[in-house]
Structure 1
Amino acid sequence: MDDREPWPDILTLRYRLAPAVVARASQMLTKGLAKQSGSRKFGWLTWVCGWVVIFLASLAYFRLRPDLAYDLPVFPLLATFLFGLFTSLVVVMLHQRRLCRHLAELSAAEGDSTLQIGAERLREQTRLSAREADLSLARPVVELPDVTLIPLGTFGIIVPDSALPEGRSRAAFIAEVSDRVARRKAAA
């Protein structure tokens, strides 16, 4: 099979994901989706600006209320605000890291995967689970080193390059999946 031949109606791929690949893909999926949506560009700036607005609004509230018109200790309030800001940042980063590790451990237990991509639905079956979704839920495919990610709703399908049919390139696979997704979205 080569890139010029038509793809079968139901594309079936079989593979086993290494935990390290899943951990890396999970981290990159978050970054890749953020980049595609544009939120990564100003994500941290927006987050910090939101905290500053909250801080200034609470400061103004305490300053402008007549029944609370006493000297507000701004330095301790600012220190508390900054502590909360950076603590929440650390908690989010640690949670993300723990989640990626957990997904990697789960992939080791799941064993071999069978992925079927039809004209309307995508189905992934492992020893422990089965995931199925309508192709209209798919977001743009994310290319990573040695794997392709197909984001679907709240989960993503990781397809290693080694799972592609012999003679088929990653570019042809991505084009075929993207075409099926576009046709399904147009029909839905």
Structure 2
Amino acid sequence: MEVQVNGAKVLLTPIPGAFSNYRCDVVNGRVYSLELGRFLISNPGKRFGYCKVRMKKDDGSWKVLGVHEVVMSSAMGVEVSWWRNQTPKLEVHHLDDAKVKINNGIANLELTTRKKNMQQSSHKFGDTKRLGSDLALMIKLEFKKFDGKKSEFINGWLKLLNHEFTYSSIENVVIGKTYKNLEMN
């Protein structure tokens, strides 16, 4: 199927599975809704930077998928579950290794194992840099005084630390999952 976008023809391919109301522009990494007659908006998530889309399945339920997964699924002609169920499990890797995963065109994607993906991804989980006890204690003490949403606190610290650490590393300190033995006087 083709559609006109800004005077140019764009080839759209089916998305395997229960998504008959959608098509995919695998070259540019976008998802098109037949029902709406337009491409879905997909903004990068704050935590890991992946663009996601919310799609209505044929049974009426909704599913949120990464655009990179939809593109790979459409390009290969198989459902996302196919590579997730391989042994070892496979995942989609962005070749440009950008911190914000906005280039979801098929030329920038490859299937790889989790181990290889982690080795190739310098940004995915914060370069394995640890917070350290002093910084973790400071975060714990500041959170104790904070009167707002946990996510606002964590995002504030991410900005303050120039995104050198991941959302989850700060969140784990806040919820007491890591650095449990620190004394808070």
What range is the shorter-chain TM-score in?
Answer: under 0.3
Q: Which has the higher helix share?
A: 1
TM-score (norm 2): 0.24
